[in-house]
Structure 1
Amino acid sequence: MDHNKIIERALIYIENHLQQPLTVESVAHAFNMSKFYFHRLFSAVMGDSLNQYILSRRLNAALTFIQDSSSSSLTDVAYRLNFGTQASFTRAFKRQYGVTPSAMKAGSSTLLPAPIPPVIRRPLKNINGDVVTDFTLTEFAETPISGIAFEVDLAADDYRKKIRAHSALLLSHVDKTVQSPCYVIYSNCRPDSPTFNVLCGIPGRIEIDEPYSFTVDVPQTFCARFSYSGDLLDIGDVLKSDYARFLKISRQETAETDIELIQAFDDVHQLDSTYHIYAPIKKLPGEPDL
């Protein structure tokens, strides 16, 4: 059973039935699945409950109706999208978008509807009835990593562009004949801040004639390792949800370390491939050495 494909099909089904009553039971039935298992599977894959996802997509669909000058009244929009009352529709809309539907209809602001979100592909496993992203407890060995170091502010609009630019800069200094993994290491440089230090590099001690080129000895670290396909910069919210579910279900704890996570690619020349995420965690008493 390909869980990712099932959820991809479910997202399309939901989108095509937003103007009809939708429940966990009705959506699960459409895919011949138990509503209890489908709910766990959907939450694990999408990082949100099915009901909350349906609500967000109905509000997303409302954007088109509201901003269409020929559309019906807000009351009609509310009932068309299965909101019980216009008041409940208005509350939910303002909670999601920070503006009332009446203000948007009056033209005070404009928002574009978002496409169906992609399903982040990763392996899953069942732990005592709970579906969770597959993980392995492992040691990240002490490794010298040489590369380009820089700082990013995840609250800034250009942080994705900045990380990609520095990754390209590293690749421009690595010969195509070099067969090596690549590591992107994120460390928190300010408490309770969206600002992070980032090192993009390869194992070993190499010389790169660029400002902010460093070799850092990454210490041996006990980690939970996850595998993903897709751009890390596009899966941040899913990763947070996966990690929170992992901590809850496995009863592990985050390690007290400056390193937030390590992104590991098998091939420095294939940074759009499947990769591993190493998240530092505490080694619990009695945890065997790996």
Structure 2
Amino acid sequence: MDHNKVIERALIHIEDHLQQSLTVESVANTFNMSKYYFHRLFSAMMGCSLNQYILSRRLNASLTFIQNQNSSLTDIAYQLGFGTQASFTRAFKRQYGVAPSSLKTGITTISPVPIPTVVKRPIKNINGDIVTAFTLTEFKETRISGIAFEVDLAHDDYKEKIRAHSEKLLSHIDETINDPCYVIYSNCQPDSTRFKVLFGIPSSIEIDKPYYFTVDVPQIFCAMFNYCGELLDIGDVLKSDYARFLKISRQETAETDIELIQAFDDVHHLDSTYHIYAPIKKLPADSDL
């Protein structure tokens, strides 16, 4: 069973039936699956329960109904299964922070968002709990040379900054070099939104100062995850996966400056499947790994 395809099809099915009754059982039956397994699979893949997802998509659909000005809020609430206008308004305020009436009057404009993309990654079943597949492993001590810079996740331009520096790195790497590529994220200080980022490879390259750095990354015990898709676009999914991993596996985060290491097998193929190394404590039960 391709669980990625099942969830992708489920999202389309839900979108096509938002004005009808939708339950875990009814959606699971559409794909000939146990409602219990489907519920665990959906929660693991999407980071929320099926009911939470359906509610968010109904509220998303309501945006178009409201802004088309063709229906009353009572009619919209009824069409989307909220029962009463009051329950619809409460849910709308929780999700968007404003009352739906503010869209009716044109005071506020909110654009609907498309069906989310299912981030492709393998999963595993641990005692009945579904979690993104992981391997407990050592990230070997590695000397990495490349471009180091700082970003602030509180600023909207951080993705563009990271992409611009990665392009700068690639422009200094010869096509004959087939080294892996590492992107290392380290926190500047506790509870800060500022991160240091190092793009690099385990080979010497020539880049003008002040961008060029060589860093010796120590050996670190990690949980390794595999993803397909850009890290900058899967941040929330990664957070959810990591939180579920810690809970289900009963592991603990390590006290280290390094937050994450993103590893590509080939520096010239940064759009491929990649590994995420998340530092964790090496517990006694892990000593033989």
> What's the TM-score, normalizing by structure 1?
0.98
Between the aligned partners of 1:52 and 1:187, the Cα distance in structure 2 is: 33
Between the aligned partners of 2:54 and 2:285, the Cα distance in structure 1 is: 43
Whether 1:72 and 2:41 are equivalent positions in the alignment is no
**Secondary structure, in 3 states, of the residue corresponding to 2:284?**
coil
Task: Give 1:202-213 correspondences, 5 Å limit.
Answer: 202-213=201-212
Whether 1:11 and 2:3 are equivalent positions in the alignment is no
Equivalent position of 1:100 in the other structure: 99
Whether 1:198 and 2:215 are equivalent positions in the alignment is no
The total of aligned residue pairs comes to: 289
| Counterpart AA for 1:146 | S
| Counterpart AA for 2:271 | D
**Secondary structure, in 3 states, of the residue corresponding to 1:190?**
coil
Where in structure 1 are there 5+ consecutive unaligned residues?
none
Contact 1:181 1:268 in 2 (8 A): yes
Deviation at 1:284, TM superposition (A): 0.4
Equivalent position of 1:42 in the other structure: 42
Contact 1:136 1:226 in 2 (8 A): yes
Between the aligned partners of 2:5 and 2:155, the Cα distance in structure 1 is: 33
Equivalent position of 1:56 in the other structure: 56
Whether 1:25 and 2:25 are equivalent positions in the alignment is yes
Contact 1:150 1:198 in 2 (8 A): yes
Equivalent position of 1:282 in the other structure: 281
Contact 2:144 2:201 in 1 (8 A): yes
Alignment deviations for residues 153-173 of structure 1 (CA, whole Å, 9 cap, x no partner): 112111111111111010000
Give percent identity, aligned residues only.
79
Alignment deviations for residues 43-71 of structure 1 (CA, whole Å, 9 cap, x no partner): 111111100000000000000001112x1
Task: Give 1:120-269 correspondences, 5 Å limit.
Answer: 120-269=119-268
Between the aligned partners of 2:167 and 2:209, the Cα distance in structure 1 is: 13
**Secondary structure, in 3 states, of the residue corresponding to 1:125?**
strand
Give RMSD over aligned pairs. Answer: 0.9
Deviation at 1:289, TM superposition (A): 4.2
Alignment deviations for residues 66-93 of structure 1 (CA, whole Å, 9 cap, x no partner): 1112x11001111110002111111111
Whether 1:119 and 2:137 are equivalent positions in the alignment is no
| Counterpart AA for 1:288 | S
| Counterpart AA for 1:9 | R
Between the aligned partners of 2:204 and 2:143, the Cα distance in structure 1 is: 7
Between the aligned partners of 1:85 and 1:283, the Cα distance in structure 2 is: 53
When residues 188 and 220 of structure 1 are mapped into structure 2, their CA distance, relative to the original with a 3 A threshold, is: same
Between the aligned partners of 1:207 and 1:114, the Cα distance in structure 2 is: 43
Contact 2:145 2:203 in 1 (8 A): yes
Between the aligned partners of 1:61 and 1:156, the Cα distance in structure 2 is: 29
| Counterpart AA for 1:58 | R
Contact 2:124 2:133 in 1 (8 A): yes
Contact 2:172 2:205 in 1 (8 A): no
Contact 2:134 2:225 in 1 (8 A): yes
| Counterpart AA for 2:93 | K
Between the aligned partners of 1:210 and 1:53, the Cα distance in structure 2 is: 48
Between the aligned partners of 1:115 and 1:201, the Cα distance in structure 2 is: 35
**Secondary structure, in 3 states, of the residue corresponding to 1:111?**
coil
Where in structure 2 are there 5+ consecutive unaligned residues?
none
Contact 1:144 1:205 in 2 (8 A): no
Between the aligned partners of 1:276 and 1:233, the Cα distance in structure 2 is: 14
Alignment deviations for residues 123-163 of structure 1 (CA, whole Å, 9 cap, x no partner): 11111111110000000001111111111111211111111
Alignment deviations for residues 203-227 of structure 1 (CA, whole Å, 9 cap, x no partner): 1343322422110110100000000
Contact 1:67 1:104 in 2 (8 A): yes
Between the aligned partners of 1:10 and 1:252, the Cα distance in structure 2 is: 32
Contact 1:143 1:204 in 2 (8 A): no
Contact 2:179 2:203 in 1 (8 A): no
Equivalent position of 1:2 in the other structure: 2
| Counterpart AA for 1:16 | D
> What's the TM-score, normalizing by structure 2?
0.98
